[in-house]
Every structure is written in structure tokens, then in C-alpha cells.
Amino acid sequence: MLSYSFRSLIYNRNKYILLSLLSVLAFGFIYFILAVLGLLISPSADGFAEEAQQSFLVLMIGFVVIFTLSVSMVISTVFYMFYTMRKPEMKVLRTLGASRATLNRTYLIEMSLLSLIISLISFLCGSAITAVFFTYYQESYVWDGRVVLIFFLLSNAVFLSMAYRQFTKVLREIDGVKKGRARRTKGQAGNKLTARLVTGCVFVGLGLSSIAYPRLQDAFTLIGVMILIKPLIGLLLYGLEQLLHSLRASSLLLAVQQMRFNFNKISSLVANVAVSLALIVMMFSLYHSLESSAVEYSARQMQYDAVAQLNQPVQDTWLQEQKGLEGTLAYTAGVEPSGRSITLTGISKTFTASQTLDFKSGSLDDLWKSAGDKQTAAVIPESLSINAGLDIGDTLNLKVQDRLVTLTVAGTFYSYNLNQIYVDKEQLAGQLATGGGQSNLLYVQGPLPEAEAALKNGAPGGYQLLPKDELLEGYREGILNGTEMVETFLYVYLVISVFLIINMFVMSMEERSRVHAGLRVLGVRKSRLIWMNVFEAALLIVAGSVAGAIIGWLLNSGVPSFVESSFGVRVSISEPLPLLLIVFGAAQLLTIAFPALLGVISMNGRQMLLVDKEE
């Protein structure tokens, strides 16, 4: 049995090429993400681990899960096409007396051999990509045994589960049984589509109704759209068939009839295209929205025009005589025991004239209420609260100027300045024994030349003046600097997704090579077959793009709440329309061009040789 499986693997090697390329590219990228995750959570890492935050790890793990599910759907569809092409072989084996158990063992061994080969090649390709990536970021790369083990288990599990699922599905079709029941009649299939159509409309109706929970509305609408894809494709094909029949467009009519005949496969192709493009819309919208929101949101919070960092503190009595200068006391501190660097800023009650804080819980009044207490209250960024697991009333230990300062969390606020903590100015001066009534960080409101003139006379130790625009640009760069790896993943995922989409359509054409050969025998011209394939590819990629854009828009509606709860910042979603139009256009052009090119190259009589060989 092992010998037969190995010979079958070699005999069908040409058919496995597209499947192998798809799997190697996808699994290689999965290893790349797992390797980066392994470095992020490694306690011995010197670079990334110090800056890695819990929310970023959650995002990366979520990216692995989503990408793996997307790849699984594509591989499952391709396997169904592949085993459909091998139906004659299975029928012959069944006719010769091979039992279902024998076929199961034979094909499982064959897929296991292929899975091991693909996993090994994917590991080598993924290691090469990871090494180049780490070299670019000046990090050392060594194989992590845990990551390698997880990768081999994950890749083989996904590959074999999808292969076995589709094999058993095709085998049941051969035996005339589907899921333990008799094969559905055309009328029963139509009833099922009608039920899906009604169910999908009900969910969409619930989503569009006036439900009190916006997240529930989005969830209902998204589920409804996903359910409606298959029945709407069925209605579209039926309408096109009637239209083309009335127009007597025989070539296009034959193409639509072929799609209706292979309706389950066609609907799966559209669903896979829709999911792939929806994820592209969601992830690119999130990345670009973070960039724009970092500037817009921070600009709304800043009521000042510049910040002046003093080399030596100045007396508050002098500041009170100046116009447009608000004094604070700021120190660089280290969070114990992690050592994370933050800025600890002591503020007074007039601080709200310089900056507005968007509180999630608590308020600045909680700082002034504790002014007479022994404990020092603090308001911290929501991102720090999430990453450090701090709630109201928890304590936070900081090391400031060789002194240990204990703070009690009194409130949290949303901010893109992720490392800023505010406390009462006089309490901070008391804990550090520096004496009250001093400031070393000034917020400037008004014309900058007047502020510079005042600082030259009143700050003899020197100062550095940072305009508001420079601070906003620093916030934007800080956000993007923390997501460089995510950007790299996005563009790699973009290339892989387009390749997967093209691969599915090419496999669909390869599956119907016998049908094309039969049509050629009946006298159908090669140009007509090419036109039929191009029409099918264009129709399916456009339908998938429309569905993907709708699903992506629905997913984007839930992104702000996800970012707020996971990262502690507010974001306004704005789709990068020029980039998305380019992506959608490129996917459509390539998907249409490849079947046409493949048809020109391959439809030269070779299908007849393939039929003779298989028969």
C-alpha cells in the first residue's frame, strides 16, 4: 500500500505542482510569523522583547489564526477540485474491489507523504525569509525548537485535515451518498438555497433594525451577508442564464450553464475570494487609520502650541508673572520590575488649560482629592492599564532619581502618548524631596517668539523648544515604528492572497480540462473556450470583490471598539481608497489575464493526450 501511494504521488506530480506552490508559500509565511512571535515572547531577546506589548502579541496571534483559517479554506477548495479530477481513478479502484477503508488508507498515506515534503520545503523557505527579515532589523536569528515543532504540527494538521475532508466528500459522491443521506435532488438543493436566502435576509434585517447594541447590529449584518453569498450567486447565475438565452449569446450561455452545473465549487470560489479581499480591506484600513488618528486625535487633545524642556527648574512664582506658560514637573522613570521607561509628570489644577485628557475611568479631580493623603494618586494611559493589568486602586512602583515612588491608580485616559503618567505636582516634589514650587517642563500657549524671549531671560540653564507639529509627528512615527512588522506582514499577505486567488481559478480550469477536450472534439473553437474562461473568471472575481468590499466594510465597523479595548487608543477608521482600488484592480486583472494566458498556451490539443493517458 505504501508503494502504491508513493507511485501514485509520483504519477500525479504535475497535478500537485500548483497545490504545492500554494501550500509552500502559505505555510512558509505562517512559519515566518511564528518565528517572529517566538522572538517576541522569548525572555532572552534583547531587542524586540523589551518593546513588545501584550496587545501587540494578541494582534499577532490573531493574525496567525485568521491567516491560517483563510489558507485552510483555499486549500480545502483546491483539494476538492483535485480529487474531483481523480474521480475516474477512484471509480476504477472501487470497481476492482477496493473497499472504502482501503482507499482511505491509500490516499491518506499519499497525502501524508506530500504533507511532510511540503512542510519541510515550507520550513526552509520560511527560515530564509525570517533570516532576511531579522537581518534587516539587525536581530540575530536562531531556530527555536518550540516554534519548529508548533509549525510542523500546525502545517501537517491543516493540510491533512483539509485533504481528508475533501477526499471523503468526493468518495461519498462516487458511492452516491452524501453525509449519510441520499444525494439531493435538484429540487431539494433549490429548497436549501431558498432557506439560506430567507435566513440571510432575516439576519440582515436584524442588523439594520434599531437594536440597542451597535456591535450586535454589525454581527447580525455580517452573518447575514456571509449566508447570502451562495443564494445570491445562484440568483445571479440564473438571471444571467435567462438573459443570455434571450440574447442568443451561445458562448456566454454555455459558460454560465457550466458554472451552474458546478455551483458548489463556484460559490466556494466566490466565498474564498470575498474573505481574502475582506481581510485585506480590514487590515490595511486599520494600519492606515492608526497613522492618521495618531495625529488627529492628539491634535484635539493638545491645547498648547509648543513644549519647552528646561535644563534647570524655574520657580513657579516667575511663571505666574509670564503669559502663556504652564509649568509642570517631569522626570524619566522606570517601571519596576520590568524597567520600562515612562515619563512621570506632576501637574497643577491649571493643567486643563493646556491639555484635555479623554478619560475612560476616573478624572483629574481624583488627583486633587488625594493631595493630603500619604499615597500618591496617578492617572495613567489606558494602554498601560491594559498591558500591565492595572485597575483602579492598584499600585504601581516607579524608580525616579534612585528613589522608589509608589503610585495608586486613580484613573485611566486614552492617549497616543503611551508612556505619560500624571500625578499631583506638589505630591511628586514631596516624594522626591526636591522642594515645591518648581517646574522643568513648560506648556506654551501663544506666539512662540514671545515665549522664547521670556525663556531666554527666565531660564538661564537653557531650554529646548518643541513646536506642536514636531510633537504630533513624533507621535505618528512612534505608532508606525511599533507596527513596522505588521506593515511587512500586510504586504506579504497581499501578495499571497492574490496568488491564492489566481491559483484557485487556474485549478478550476485544470479540473475542467477533460470537459474542454470534449468540447474541442465537438468542434468548439479554441478562442471560444478562452472567451468562456475569461468571462467566468471576470464574473466570479467581480462578484467576490463586491462581497469582499461589503464584508470588509462591516468588519471595519467593529475595528474601533477592538482597538480601544485591546490597545487603549481611540481610532477613526478611514479606508485607504486609492490603495484598495489598486489592490482590487490588480487582483481582477491578474485573475482574468491568467486564465486567458493559460488557455492560449495549453489549448493546443494537449488535453486530448491527457484524456487518453487517464482513460
At 592 the pLDDT is 79
Give the Cα separation of 513 and 519 in Å (integer): 10
pLDDT for res 571:
82
Helices assigned H by DSSP within 52-144: 54-85, 87-95, 100-136
**pLDDT, tens digit (0-9, with 9 covering 90-100), for 469-523:** 888 777 666 666 556 666 776 777 777 777 777 777 776 776 677 777 777 787 8
Which tens digits make up the pLDDT trace of 65-96?
A: 777 777 787 788 778 777 877 788 888 888 88
Note the pLDDT of residue 607.
41
* Distance of alpha carbon 547 from alpha carbon 182, whole angstroms: 32
Specify whether the CB–CB gap between 55 and 485 falls below 8 A.
no
Residues 6+ apart with CB under 8 A from 605: 520
CB 517 within 8 A of CB 607: yes
Q: CA-to-CA distance for 295 and 290, rounded, in angstroms?
A: 9
Residues 197 and 228 sit within 8 Å (Cβ to Cβ)? yes
- Look at residue 403 and give its three-state secondary structure: strand
Answer yes or no: are the C-beta atoms of 343 and 333 closer than 8 Å: yes
CB 376 within 8 A of CB 424: yes
Domains observed in the chain: 1-178 (no CATH), 188-301+478-614 (no CATH), 306-445 (2.40.40.20)
Beta bridge partners of 421: 344
End-to-end CA distance of the chain: give it in Å, rounded. 22
- Identify the H or E element spanning 181: strand 181-182
Cβ within 8 Å of residue 65, ≥6 positions away: none
As given in the structure block, the three cell numbers for residue 495 are 501578495
Q: What is the mean pLDDT of residues 293-307?
A: 80
Question: Which is it for strands 181-182 and 177-178: parallel, antiparallel or unpaired?
Answer: antiparallel
Asked if residues 297 and 426 have their Cβ atoms less than 8 Å apart, the reply is: no
State which amino acid sits at residue 498: V
The angle, 0 to 180 degrees and rounded to 10, between the axes of the packed helices 484-511 and 263-301 is 170
Q: Reduced to 3 states, what is the DSSP secondary structure of residue 397?
A: strand
* CA distances to 12, 157, 259, 355 from 111, in Å: 12, 11, 29, 63
Note the pTM of the prediction, 2 decimals.
Answer: 0.73
Q: What is the predicted pLDDT for the residue at 599?
A: 64
DSSP state for residue 53 in the 8-state scheme: -
What's CA 487's distance to the chain center, in Å?
Answer: 10
CB 203 within 8 Å of CB 221: yes
pLDDT of residue 62: 67
C-alpha cell at 511: 479540473
Per residue in 151-202, pLDDT (tens digit) is 899 888 988 888 888 888 888 877 764 444 444 555 556 677 788 888 888 8
Residue 125 in this model has a pLDDT that exceeds 70: yes
Q: Could you give the CA distance from residue 398 to residue 193 in angstroms, rounded to a whole number?
A: 62
Averaging pLDDT over each range in 337-351, 354-368, 402-416, 601-615, which range is the top one?
Answer: 402-416
* Tens digit of each residue's pLDDT (9 = 90 or more) over 5-25: 777 777 777 677 777 877 887
Q: Which residues partner with 465 through β-bridges? A: 308
